[in-house]
Every structure is written in C-alpha cells, then in structure tokens.
Chains A and B, each alone.
Chain A
Amino acid sequence: MSEHIAHHDEHRDDAGSKLGMWLFIFTELLLFGGLFLVYSVYRLQYHQNFHEGSLELSVTIGAINTIALLFSSMTIAMALTAVQRQNKKLALIMIGLTLLMAAVFLFNKYIEWGAKFHHGLYPGSELMDGLDRGHLLFFSLYFFMTGLHAFHIIVGMILLTVCFVKVKSNKINNDRFVLLENGALYWHLVDLIWIFLFPLLYLIS
C-alpha cells in the first residue's frame, strides 16, 4: 500500500463527518426553501384557488403517508441506538422496517399520482392547460414539490440500503457507526420536509 493512500485512510473524524452531513442538510433545507417561498408567494395571491385545489387531494392518503414517515423516522433512530448497543439483529429489523415504510410511502404516492394522471390532470395535459392561473399554479407546485420529495425518498432508500448491507457485514458496528448516523439524519430531513408539505398541500381546504 502506498503512502499516499495511507495518508488519507489514517484520518478519521466522526464528528467532522457528522458536521458535514448537517451542513448538507442545511443546503437541502434551502433547496426546498426556494420552493416553499414560491408556494407562499402564490398562495398569498391565489388564496381561494389554492383552497379549492387542495380539495382534490385525499387527506386520508396524505395522513397515512405522514404516519408512515413519522414511524420510519422513529425506527431509523432506534436502529442507531441498536447498533450503539451492539444489538445487530434489532438494528437490521429496524432498518428493514424503515425501508418498508418508505416503500409504503412511494406506493401511496404512485396511487395518488396515478389517479390524477387517470383524470387527465398532469403537467402539460389539456385539462391542466384549461385551468385558471391559481389552480394551475397549485397543481404545478403539487407535482413539483411532491415529485422532488419522492426523489429524496428514493435517494434515502438507496443510502439506507447501503447501511443495511454494512450493518450486516459488521462494517457498521458500535465503534464505527457514523455512516448510519448520517443516513438517519438524511432520513429525518426527508421526514421534516414532509411535515411541512402535508399541511401546506393537503390541509388548506
């Protein structure tokens, strides 16, 4: 092994990695922050239309998804505790549960979007083009925000799958768990954003 590689391997700074993840979360918050800003501006202008638009969304599906994400947030936090307490089996179960909840969330999203598409309500469709400005903006925001959020769910799932494999092969253990810690932080971010998306899109009827 050359010196060059050794130079970079010997350095380990878990607190630094975690700080890095937090900073990345700040970036993500501002990324969604831009969208929330667009939402606030248009809602201020088209208050009534947003109100009507949200009637088209199913509060039940939204609530189920909220619960799924909150639950998964707890399970991933428990997985971290389990790894720290050297309970590998429980950790695997908890990460597995988190992934399951993520899948439930995406499935619901699929049903929801599918129904909208079925009714001809999707960006660029004739129905969308015929809407007045407020409704159009509401549904544009709905598709864009939930779409971007779903994309983050998928990224989070990939990250947590990697964590699952590494816990299984003991690469993540009670001495080295910063990867799982960062994966969990990312997952909580996804949850945090949904906590705001849910009332803003579903509950303004």
Chain B
Amino acid sequence: MSNKNAHAVEHSGTDYMLLGKILVLLMFFTFATITITELDFGTLTLTVALLIAGVKSYFVIAYFMHLKHEGLLLKILVISVFILYILIVLITLIDYYYR
C-alpha cells in the first residue's frame, strides 16, 4: 500500500488457464442447478439453488474480480456489505413471516 501504483509495476495478471478452469467450474455449477431444480426437492430446491448461486458468485468475485489478490481492507468491505444486506432482508422478513 505504500507505493500507490504497486500493482502497475508487477503485472503478470491472472493466468489464462486458471480463468478457463474457473469458467468450466461455473458451467458445471450452472448445469447442476438446472438438474437439481428439475429433480424437485420441494421447498429445499430454492435453498439449494441459492446456495449454488452463492458458490458461483464466490468464484466470480474471488477470481474474475481478483478479490483474492486484493488487500484485507477490500475483503472486509465486501463481506460486510453482504452481511448488512442479509441482515436487512432477514429483518424485513420477520415482519412478513409473523404477519
């Protein structure tokens, strides 16, 4: 962080192969979701589909968006924003669940 343009000096970037592997993984998860929802586990289906979506977004954020190689600050911020959003949704749903 001391050098403002530190990352401009080293720039090998993310390896092409790694990006390709992530894509394959994401494709796999996409087909997995479609298959699972067709099998139908009842109310669990959506939960599983959302969990898989969460895993997919982890890979997009960590590798495509390079969060894995960013500083601690940004990682904390991203996590906090997601936690805040989930809290807001849960608190709103308290109202609707008990109405």
Query: A-side interface residues toward B, CB under 8 Å?
Result: 12-16, 19, 22, 26, 29-30, 33, 36-37, 40-41, 44-45, 59, 63, 66-67, 70-71, 73-74, 77-78, 80-85, 174-177, 184-185, 188, 191-192, 195-196, 198-200, 203-205
Contact = CB atoms under 8 A, between A and B. Distances in A.
Contact of A22 (B11, B13, B19, B77): B77
A81 B14 contact: yes
Contacts of B61: 188, 192
28 contacts: A15-B4, A15-B6, A22-B77, A22-B78, A37-B89, A40-B89, A44-B93, A44-B96, A45-B96, A59-B34, A66-B30, A70-B26, A70-B30, A73-B64, A77-B19, A77-B64, A84-B12, A85-B12, A184-B65, A188-B60, A195-B56, A195-B57, A196-B50, A198-B30, A199-B37, A199-B52, A199-B53, A204-B49
A106 to B, nearest CB: 20
Contacts of B6: 15
Task: Name B's interface SS.
Answer: helix
B89 to A, nearest CB: 6
Contacts of A44: 93, 96-97
Interface string B25-45: 011001001100100000001
Given A29-B81, A188-B60, A192-B60, A81 B13 contact: yes
A200 B47 CA distance: 10
Task: Name A's interface SS.
Answer: helix
A84 B44 CA distance: 44
Given A15-B4, A22-B78, 14 more contacts: A14-B7, A29-B81, A36-B89, A40-B92, A41-B93, A41-B96, A67-B30, A73-B60, A83-B13, A188-B64, A191-B64, A195-B60, A198-B30, A203-B37
A80 B57 contact: no
A185 B13 contact: no
Given A45-B96, A191-B60, A203-B37, A84 B23 contact: no
A63 B64 contact: no
B13 A70 contact: no
Given A77-B14, A195-B53, A67 B27 contact: yes
B69 to A, nearest CB: 12
A78 B18 CA distance: 10
B92 A78 contact: no
A191 B77 CA distance: 20
